Amino acid sequence: MPVFLSATAPGFAEDFARLLGQKREEAEDVQQTVAGIIADVRAGGDAALIALTARFDRLQLRPGTLAFSPEEISAEVAKVSASDRAALELAADRIRSYHARQRPGDESWTDAAGAMLGWRWTPVSAAGLYVPGGIASYPSSVLMNAIPAKVAGVEQLVIVCPTPGGVVNPLVLLAAQIAGVDVVYRIGGAQAIAALAYGTETIAAVDKITGPGNAYVAAAKRQVFGRVGIDMIAGPSEVLIIADAENDPDWIALDLLSQAEHDESTQSILITTDAALGRAVAAAVDHRLQTLDRRAIAAAAWAANGAVITVETLDQAAALANRIAPEHLQIMTGDPEALAARISHAGAIFLGAWTPEAIGDYVGGPNHVLPTARSARFSSGLSVLDFMKRTTIARMTPGALQTVGPAAVRLANSESLQAHGLSVQARLDRLNERPPA
């Protein structure tokens, strides 16, 4: 059974704090194992990568077969039905259109001192995208990671995707083709992250690594950060739904279960102003669980991490939501826009009863790679900006330097950085010998 909490009950503050502090991440200590894998790949290159793939994925490779050949991709893509292809293309078009609006512009201006200032944006040269394989093989993740990179202008875009036992998901390869991925490698785990970060004889090192993975992948991304950029360290998925009495309990139950079926660590929470609705939703969850293929996973997640919280007002709901800072927030109230205006911390917001979070996973347009574990308090979902960097630009005229330079000299001297001050003062001395141009 999920946790049932009421904002008016004694001890609610302590119970809610306990819910917030619940640790759902993988408990297994993988740091040392991952460090060893990374060291092996750095030292052994292709040979180590091939050995680790044989060990963990039961797949025998050689340098020439680390990547799918164009012929293999064509053969696999041909297996995809026309309806599945159409769905992927629709999703890709919507994701591309949404992310195209995120491209930032360059700026340049002359300030009051006469200095030219500004910035320009340029893409990273190469990015590597991790795509889970096996059971959790998601073509939607390919689109969500690859399309923003292509919109940003990344020149070289590669995917690493494990194929345990050689099992391939044709939809993943089609998604890669639609998104414009250059190379797809059939490797995964921490060893794939190491190969992307440090390179091997066959795989070129990249500048940025994005994409979800298991505890080993997350640990590897954490350990290679600094050598390369990463998007985030994603934890188990989560959804928070705020609903008033005017809602279908079965719809809400399905929305909660759409997260719970990911894995046993996911969290699904309902906050409602109507206690009867909360009870009806819990009953609907129990009924729907009997019909799901992944009911064992969903039931375990709902029992361990699910919660139904009753509040007196929507203001209270908004305040609790900001403390939770959920990855996904569904607002199913009479005026969802008004309530959304009170939300400061959420990875993504879905407005109204007709906007289930599952739409955002596939065809909504915004990215589904989002901050988890309350990190929406300080971070955002994946975007075009994750594949770009801003370079600042400044040009001093003699007059501008004469205006602002003396302050720089004073500040440098106050920090005992003599050469800093002298580098500016030497130019000021030259200007004092003649009027500025």
Report residue 437's pLDDT band, with 50, 70 and 90 as the boundaries: low
Structure confidence by residue, pLDDT tens digits, 93-142: 999 999 999 999 999 999 999 999 999 999 999 999 999 886 567 899 99
Residue 58 has pLDDT above 60, yes or no: yes
373 dihedral zone (left: phi>0; alpha: psi -120 to 50; beta): left
> Which pLDDT value is given to residue 139?
95
- The answer on 135 and 188 residing in a single domain is yes
CA distance 231 to 129: 10
> Which pLDDT value is given to residue 215?
87
CA distance 163 to 174: 15
Structure confidence by residue, pLDDT tens digits, 388-420: 999 999 999 999 999 999 999 999 999 999 999
Q: Are 126 and 155 in contact (CB under 8 A)?
A: yes
> Which pLDDT value is given to residue 136?
61
> Which pLDDT value is given to residue 390?
97
Residue 24 has pLDDT above 90, yes or no: no
Residue 434 has pLDDT above 80, yes or no: no
- The answer on 411 and 322 residing in a single domain is no
- The answer on 35 and 150 residing in a single domain is yes
CA distance 139 to 157: 16
Residue 353 has pLDDT above 80, yes or no: yes
Domain endpoint, select from 322, 341, 364 = 364
- The answer on 239 and 227 residing in a single domain is no
Report residue 214's pLDDT band, with 50, 70 and 90 as the boundaries: confident
- The answer on 35 and 10 residing in a single domain is no
Number of structural domains found in the chain: 3
Active site residue 368: no
- The answer on 151 and 186 residing in a single domain is yes
Q: Active site residue: 327, 345, 420, 433, which one?
A: 327
Contacts of 233 by beta carbon, 8 Å cutoff, 6+ apart: 218, 221, 222
Residue 260 domain flag: yes
Q: For residues 336-350, give the mean pLDDT.
A: 98
CA distance 246 to 260: 24
CATH code, domain with 330: 3.40.50.1980
Residue 435 has pLDDT above 70, yes or no: no
> Which pLDDT value is given to residue 372?
93
Structure confidence by residue, pLDDT tens digits, 322-341: 999 999 999 999 999 999 99
Q: Are 163 and 189 in contact (CB under 8 A)?
A: no
> Which pLDDT value is given to residue 436?
57
Residue 254 domain flag: yes
Residue 97 domain flag: no
CA distance 172 to 165: 16
Residue 104 domain flag: no
CA proximity to 53, closest of 159, 177, 157, 190: 190
Residue 411 domain flag: yes
Active site residue 328: yes
Residue 257 domain flag: yes
Share of the chain above pLDDT 90, in %: 91
Residue 370 domain flag: no
Domain endpoint, select from 163, 198, 232 = 232
- The answer on 53 and 179 residing in a single domain is yes
Q: Active site residue: 76, 328, 357, 368, which one?
A: 328
Structure confidence by residue, pLDDT tens digits, 156-191: 999 999 999 999 999 999 999 999 999 999 999 999
Give the domain range for residue 411. Answer: 396-433
Q: For residues 262-280, give the mean pLDDT.
A: 95
- The answer on 180 and 127 residing in a single domain is yes
Coil, strand or helix at 415: coil
Domain endpoint, select from 341, 364, 387 = 364
Residue 101: alpha-carbon gap to chain centroid: 18
Report residue 26's pLDDT band, with 50, 70 and 90 as the boundaries: low
> Which pLDDT value is given to residue 30?
85
Q: For residues 270-275, give the mean pLDDT.
A: 98
- The answer on 221 and 350 residing in a single domain is no
Residue 316 has pLDDT above 70, yes or no: yes
Coil, strand or helix at 119: strand
Residue 52 domain flag: yes
- The answer on 181 and 46 residing in a single domain is yes
- The answer on 57 and 188 residing in a single domain is yes
- The answer on 244 and 226 residing in a single domain is no
Lowest mean pLDDT across 20-29, 46-55, 406-415: 20-29
Across the chain, what does the average pLDDT equal?
95
